[in-house]
Protein backbone atom coordinates (compact mmCIF):
# COMPACT_ATOMS: atom_id res chain seq x y z
CA UNK A 1 0.00 0.00 0.00
CA UNK A 2 2.81 2.36 0.91
CA UNK A 3 4.50 1.62 -2.39
CA UNK A 4 1.28 2.43 -4.30
CA UNK A 5 0.97 5.82 -2.54
CA UNK A 6 4.58 6.66 -3.43
CA UNK A 7 3.93 5.88 -7.13
CA UNK A 8 0.87 8.14 -7.14
CA UNK A 9 2.84 10.97 -5.49
CA UNK A 10 5.64 10.55 -8.09
CA UNK A 11 3.10 10.78 -10.91
CA UNK A 12 1.54 13.93 -9.43
CA UNK A 13 4.96 15.58 -9.03
CA UNK A 14 5.95 14.72 -12.61
CA UNK A 15 2.66 16.04 -14.01
CA UNK A 16 3.01 19.24 -11.96
CA UNK A 17 6.59 19.81 -13.14
CA UNK A 18 5.67 19.27 -16.79
CA UNK A 19 2.67 21.59 -16.45
CA UNK A 20 4.65 24.44 -14.83
CA UNK A 21 7.49 24.02 -17.31
CA UNK A 22 4.98 24.33 -20.17
CA UNK A 23 3.45 27.52 -18.70
CA UNK A 24 6.90 29.12 -18.29
CA UNK A 25 7.75 28.25 -21.90
CA UNK A 26 4.49 29.74 -23.25
CA UNK A 27 4.98 33.01 -21.35
CA UNK A 28 8.47 33.43 -22.80
CA UNK A 29 7.18 33.30 -26.39
CA UNK A 30 6.11 36.94 -26.85
CA UNK A 31 5.47 38.28 -30.36
CA UNK A 32 5.36 41.94 -29.35
CA UNK A 33 7.79 44.82 -28.90
CA UNK A 34 7.89 48.52 -28.01
CA UNK A 35 8.96 51.88 -29.40
CA UNK A 36 10.24 54.57 -27.02
CA UNK A 37 12.04 57.88 -27.38
CA UNK A 38 12.57 61.48 -26.40
CA UNK A 39 11.62 64.57 -28.39
CA UNK A 40 13.84 67.64 -28.30
CA UNK A 41 14.11 70.86 -30.30
CA UNK A 42 17.22 72.15 -32.09
CA UNK A 43 18.53 73.71 -28.85
CA UNK A 44 18.25 70.42 -26.94
CA UNK A 45 15.20 71.44 -24.91
CA UNK A 46 12.54 68.76 -24.48
CA UNK A 47 9.30 69.06 -26.44
CA UNK A 48 6.28 68.14 -24.29
CA UNK A 49 2.76 67.40 -25.56
CA UNK A 50 3.84 66.54 -29.09
CA UNK A 51 1.65 64.18 -31.12
CA UNK A 52 3.31 60.84 -31.88
CA UNK A 53 1.76 58.66 -34.61
CA UNK A 54 3.05 55.12 -35.09
CA UNK A 55 1.85 53.21 -38.18
CA UNK A 56 2.50 49.53 -38.87
CA UNK A 57 3.56 49.47 -42.55
CA UNK A 58 2.15 45.97 -43.16
CA UNK A 59 -1.26 46.31 -41.51
CA UNK A 60 -1.71 50.12 -41.42
CA UNK A 61 -2.63 49.78 -37.73
CA UNK A 62 -2.16 53.20 -36.14
CA UNK A 63 -1.16 54.01 -32.57
CA UNK A 64 -1.48 57.62 -31.41
CA UNK A 65 0.00 59.04 -28.23
CA UNK A 66 1.43 62.26 -26.80
CA UNK A 67 4.87 62.95 -25.37
CA UNK A 68 4.90 63.63 -21.62
CA UNK A 69 6.18 66.75 -19.84
CA UNK A 70 9.76 65.47 -20.21
CA UNK A 71 9.37 64.90 -23.97
CA UNK A 72 9.32 61.10 -23.54
CA UNK A 73 6.93 58.64 -25.16
CA UNK A 74 6.50 54.85 -24.97
CA UNK A 75 4.31 52.65 -27.16
CA UNK A 76 4.12 49.11 -25.78
CA UNK A 77 2.60 45.85 -26.98
CA UNK A 78 3.21 46.54 -30.68
CA UNK A 79 3.14 43.53 -33.06
CA UNK A 80 6.54 42.80 -34.60
CA UNK A 81 7.12 44.41 -37.99
CA UNK A 82 8.08 47.60 -39.83
CA UNK A 83 6.79 50.95 -38.58
CA UNK A 84 6.74 54.61 -39.55
CA UNK A 85 6.87 57.05 -36.63
CA UNK A 86 5.75 60.68 -37.13
CA UNK A 87 6.06 63.59 -34.70
CA UNK A 88 4.01 66.80 -34.82
CA UNK A 89 3.77 69.89 -32.64
CA UNK A 90 2.49 73.37 -33.36
CA UNK A 91 5.39 75.67 -34.30
CA UNK A 92 7.59 72.77 -35.46
CA UNK A 93 8.03 70.98 -38.77
CA UNK A 94 6.58 67.47 -39.01
CA UNK A 95 9.31 64.86 -38.54
CA UNK A 96 9.02 61.28 -39.84
CA UNK A 97 11.21 58.22 -39.13
CA UNK A 98 10.66 55.36 -41.59
CA UNK A 99 11.77 51.72 -41.55
CA UNK A 100 11.64 51.31 -37.77
CA UNK A 101 11.82 47.57 -37.11
CA UNK A 102 10.14 46.20 -33.97
CA UNK A 103 11.51 42.79 -32.98
CA UNK A 104 10.32 40.18 -30.50
CA UNK A 105 10.41 41.41 -26.90
CA UNK A 106 12.61 44.42 -27.81
CA UNK A 107 12.26 48.16 -27.21
CA UNK A 108 13.37 50.23 -30.21
CA UNK A 109 14.69 53.70 -29.37
CA UNK A 110 13.48 56.47 -31.72
CA UNK A 111 14.66 59.88 -30.52
CA UNK A 112 13.78 62.90 -32.64
CA UNK A 113 14.90 66.50 -32.92
CA UNK A 114 12.07 68.73 -34.10
CA UNK A 115 13.02 71.70 -36.26
CA UNK A 116 11.29 75.02 -35.79
CA UNK A 117 8.71 75.49 -38.52
CA UNK A 118 7.31 78.56 -40.20
CA UNK A 119 5.26 80.58 -37.77
CA UNK A 120 2.18 81.92 -39.50
CA UNK A 121 0.78 85.26 -38.53
CA UNK A 122 -2.94 85.26 -37.94
CA UNK A 123 -4.64 87.39 -40.54
CA UNK A 124 -8.01 89.05 -40.33
CA UNK A 125 -10.52 88.64 -43.03
CA UNK A 126 -10.57 91.57 -45.41
CA UNK A 127 -14.23 91.12 -46.24
CA UNK A 128 -16.40 94.10 -45.41
CA UNK A 129 -18.76 93.74 -42.50
CA UNK A 130 -22.21 92.66 -43.42
CA UNK A 131 -25.22 94.68 -42.42
CA UNK A 132 -28.30 92.82 -41.43
CA UNK A 133 -31.85 93.95 -41.85
CA UNK A 134 -33.78 93.76 -38.63
CA UNK A 135 -37.50 93.33 -38.81
CA UNK A 136 -39.01 94.42 -35.55
CA UNK A 137 -41.35 97.02 -34.22
CA UNK A 138 -39.50 100.32 -33.58
CA UNK A 139 -40.54 100.19 -29.93
CA UNK A 140 -38.72 96.81 -29.53
CA UNK A 141 -35.58 98.27 -31.08
CA UNK A 142 -35.51 101.05 -28.52
CA UNK A 143 -35.44 98.45 -25.73
CA UNK A 144 -32.39 96.74 -27.21
CA UNK A 145 -28.91 97.84 -26.19
CA UNK A 146 -26.74 99.34 -28.90
CA UNK A 147 -23.94 96.78 -28.31
CA UNK A 148 -26.13 93.88 -29.31
CA UNK A 149 -26.77 95.45 -32.71
CA UNK A 150 -23.09 95.85 -33.52
CA UNK A 151 -22.01 93.40 -36.18
CA UNK A 152 -18.73 91.71 -35.29
Q: Note whether 85 and 13 are same-domain residues.
A: no
Q: Note whether 35 and 107 are same-domain residues.
A: yes
pLDDT band at 90 (very low <50, low <70, confident <90, very high): very high
pTM (global) more than 0.85? no
- What is the span of the domain harbouring residue 82? 31-114
Residue 141 within a domain: no
63-71 long-range CB contacts below 8 Å, 24 or more apart?
Answer: 67/38, 67/39, 70/38, 70/46, 71/38, 71/39, 71/40, 71/46, 71/47
Q: Note whether 8 and 42 are same-domain residues.
A: no
**pLDDT score recorded for residue 117:** 83
For 96-132, the pLDDT digits (tens) are 999 999 999 999 999 999 999 865 554 555 555 555 5
Q: Note whether 37 and 104 are same-domain residues.
A: yes
> Do 99 and 24 meet the contact criterion of CB atoms below 8 Å apart?
no
Amino acid sequence: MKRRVMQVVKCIVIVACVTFWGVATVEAQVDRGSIAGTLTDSTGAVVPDAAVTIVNVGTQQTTRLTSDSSGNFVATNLPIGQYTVAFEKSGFKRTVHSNVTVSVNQTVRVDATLQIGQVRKASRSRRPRRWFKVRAHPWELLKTRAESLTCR
